[in-house]
Structure 1
Amino acid sequence: ATSVTCPLFHYHPALIAQAAATVDRLSGGRFILGVGTGENINEGPLGFAFPGYQERIARMEEALQIIHRLFDGEKVDFAGEYYTADKARLYSPPVSEIPVWMAAGGPKSATFAG
């Protein structure tokens, strides 16, 4: 098994949801989606703009709303501050409910993760 978290602000949440659903189907329902707000250790030296924590957590909140709705089989219309979706849906839904685990490196993220 391997463990990787996806920094949500690099990709549209619908793409993450579809990729997760595809891997879930390929693995027979054994996929767990790991997400995080990102870290600047690898991203900064590569020239990625690295938003502050408040923006990253706000993006995470919006992204997770979209991802969970897509996992639930909804056709998603969404107009947030960071993401939009117009009748987005998963064309290959997951085999089973995909658990979503959040990486947390501090108390604020741990509180957000629940």
Structure 2
Amino acid sequence: MIMKTKKYLLAGALILSLSSPALAQSDSYKAALNPIISAIEAAPNDVNAGKNLIKDYLKTYKKDEQALTALGNVYLAQRNFTEAMKIANSIVSNKKMNGTLGYLLLGDIVA
């Protein structure tokens, strides 16, 4: 009985340790957005504000629908509707992504 419990406890710990890196990646895009937000807020009228940061962000998270939507929401908060629209359309047109977050972003832009 004790051996069975230890076996299941060990299996549960192993599964939990394997899923931890996948969960940690989902919050990493939020931390990567902070410098972009700071750069855009520092120069709100400058089109090239944070250009290199945004380029690196897009390169890193080009396959993550949530990360791209978060960047679109940053553009939307800064009232940069054209860039937000580009992000939303790229999410919707990408066949590998679900597209629902892109449609939500498009709805927020139009509203």
Give TM-score, length-normalised by structure 2.
0.29
Query: Which of the two has higher C-alpha Rg?
Result: 2
Task: Say which structure is richer in strand.
Answer: 1
Give TM-score, length-normalised by structure 1.
0.29
Higher RCO (CA 8 Å, separation ≥ 6 residues): 1
